Chain A
């Protein structure tokens, strides 16, 4: 079976619009969560979010191009450009058609839809002609393919909060199967709109102040946005061009709860983590860090803790666990990608990023949690969890490349 490696990383989140910015914030235990500025937040119960700050469209795209691009598609392209630059790969000749773009998005261009339909319903005005092409869920993948001239298979994978991890899983399978030699994969999302926030508010799972995963007194999740894109290559291809290898993508274990639409169960996440370990042919003890799904809701964090105990046995109390959602918010379809970026950067720097805003232990979350301050640790292999609404789970394992 072909081995698959990661040779480029690009990330946009509330922690920064590139990898360096994201890592600086994670290493300094800085949170990107703040009062919402994208629209007036007076009518919201939960008035905070993890917005991508200081983002100016025209810094990244000429107006003629950005007019066609929703915020989520822009984030995808910004991250993809960084990943490609980082990997040093050039898409010329045959490689264009031997490269795939598989980008997760749970929602698509909801900012565009929200703006257009607000005008339509309030004033009976017409809808802008770019509304549909900006809104479509595949716009992120399409703009990445267009921006980089990639002509191989390109599409979007949607599974709410697990979209990015599922996308990485599909790209991994395509590379292993020999369908392509290179894939740009990850996730992209931008859903901090008034309508979306009211929708989350109605579900009553939003924290009004801060995201404090696994902590006693946690109040729920905080919405984030952004993108993470990775250059994946077959090992053979990466070696042939002398690429620097960040890590090997060992596995993406997947499962479905087939249970409640929103309430997590124990079996689904357990099965996905076990599937990932089996696919990677690794023992639980080989995992040095878990970047948890850790949304900060009562239900997720307690259930995820139980699932980690079920899968890791005695190692569950030893392996460092953190949820970086406490810093960059819940990026939904981008979450797995922003978190894989955090995981790869943690591996590179030998530092486990912290779960911020932690107040005190919750007996239901009895793990070796890295809280409030990052912790130095050598990470040779790491797991990154995503468990979506709809009961769809996808768990990524990466390992330091050792030849």
Chain B
């Protein structure tokens, strides 16, 4: 825990003793146990693990989409336990972006409208210009009015990436962003993701089972048996 220190501003995520158990009939199933983690501003962290290791559960907890059974979790210095579901949503608003394995684009909305969606929740004026600008950044300037079903998988994920970055968030979560894409397309998406991340100085938390992808992050953590282990250190940050 080399980062127990001073700069609260630098700390984006902080988890200690995090546990998640679910009831399955009479039995209680332990998914995560006494897990600790912190992520600093501008870092990119990969969480790898086999299928069923609880990666998505952890991502849901870290993003405040779900509540832990035990332990403490802070996002942007704010304890999530102290907040109700609406409070956690308000904390995410405009500051957290998401990229999902299955893109999660709304089928009745055009590419442009999908990107506009998170912006429209905040009191901003430049919604259209900003969305167009980000779609152009991901190379879809000519496909603004296309519906998701008119786009290829790679294009859909690029729309999702634009949507994740359009609010200029502090933190982006990516859940198996290449899981539904072929290798070449996946690689392009990852290049794009890291490029935008670097340019915008965003913090990135990425869940994947793809080790090659994980290695491109500053830190790489393995989720196994409900706990996290560092599998590689590049920048001296520890678990």
A binds B: no
